[in-house]
Amino acid sequence: MGAGEQSYDTALRMCPSCRGLIDRGASVCPLCGAPTKPPRSRVGTGSGKLLGGLIAVPSTATSALIAVNVALYFLSWYLTQTAASAELSSAPGMGGIRGDVLVRLGAKFGPLMYTGQWYTGEWWRLVTAMFLHRDLIHIGFNLLCLFRLGPEVESLFGTAKFLVIYLVTGVAGFMLSLWSSLGSSIGASGAILGLIGVVLVVSFRYGSAGKQYRAMLWQWLLYILIISLLPGVDMAAHLGGFICGVALGLVIPEGEPETRASENLWNALAVLSVLVIAGSFVLMALQLNHTLR
């Protein structure tokens, strides 16, 4: 982000009552007089950056998602190397992962998700596929985007809403991908496009500061569109995640929940999201253990 986005990141925030832009340090809204909660620590201020402010520190949920992606990549790389050694063959270059390894670890793969009856398929692959990547370039680009966008969305909506948005948009992307093709597909791109869609909608509420931020998002969308046109890239997953993100940006209120009931609801949805992710990995591990016997 450039210096022109300073007002978006740190100077202003939205009043939870009247939704007007107010100073981030204000304890009472000067527009409506309503008390405001202390703002969450945002990336871009104080100790939230390293190397003199050049590198943002991911927030809690973003860090956890990055860690899971990295762990799954190293597991898939290890299994690729092991399989190549057993077959006395060469492993893919550039940290590449074999296709059969990705399928075993939970890639979206139609023939295993639809086995004559939809309810008998391995639907957990809609979740596990979000955390798998085909090579170093693939995971590097996706994690760079998550590193930049994750803290923004988590700060704007709160950790609970962020987790729900990430999971729902990622699953939506692979659902559209499955509808368009039964072939194999993996990657966090659908969820990342979902984050872009959410932030794009929110940016329209921030006047000139939002316009500056939106210019960066349009550039990202252009780059991703160009990449989506390359052979082997899942355009449907990208489109599904982005459309879902825009829809969620329109209906999910920004900021922390304003009532105890709303807070309990979002916390419950966040816990459910974590359980869905964890449960999907358990099912993947059971399937992997079965195939290794």
Active-site residue set? 189, 238
Query: Please, what are the domains in the chain?
Result: 59-292 (1.20.1540.10)
Predicted confidence at residue 98, as pLDDT, reads: 93
pLDDT (tens digit, 9 = 90+) per residue, 123-155?
A: 999 999 999 999 999 999 999 999 988 988 888
Helix, strand, coil shares of the chain, percent, nearest 5, are: 65, 5, 30
CA 212 to chain CA centroid, Å, is 22
- Closest C-alpha to 176, from 228, 229, 237, 116: 237
DSSP string, 181-228: --S-B--SHHHHHHHHHHHHHHHTTSHHHHHHHHHHHHHHHHHHHHHH
Instruction: Read off the pLDDT of residues 246-276 as tens digits, 9 standing for 90 and up.
Output: 999 999 988 888 888 999 999 999 999 999 9
The radius of gyration computed from the CA coordinates of the chain, to the nearest angstrom, equals 20
What are the distances in angstroms from CA 284 to CA 191, 239, 248?
20, 26, 28
Mean pLDDT of the 178-183 span: 91
Q: Look over the chain and give the mean of its residue pLDDT values, rounded to a whole number.
A: 82
- The Cα 242–Cα 189 span in angstroms is 9
| Rounded-to-integer distance, Cα 10 and Cα 206, Å | 12
Is the predicted pLDDT of residue 214 greater than 70, yes or no?
A: yes
Provide the pLDDT confidence category of residue 212 given band limits of 50, 70 and 90.
confident
Q: Return the pLDDT at 229.
A: 81
Share of the chain above pLDDT 90, in %: 51
Output the pLDDT for position 259.
86
Q: Is 136:212 a contact under the CB 8 Å cutoff?
A: no
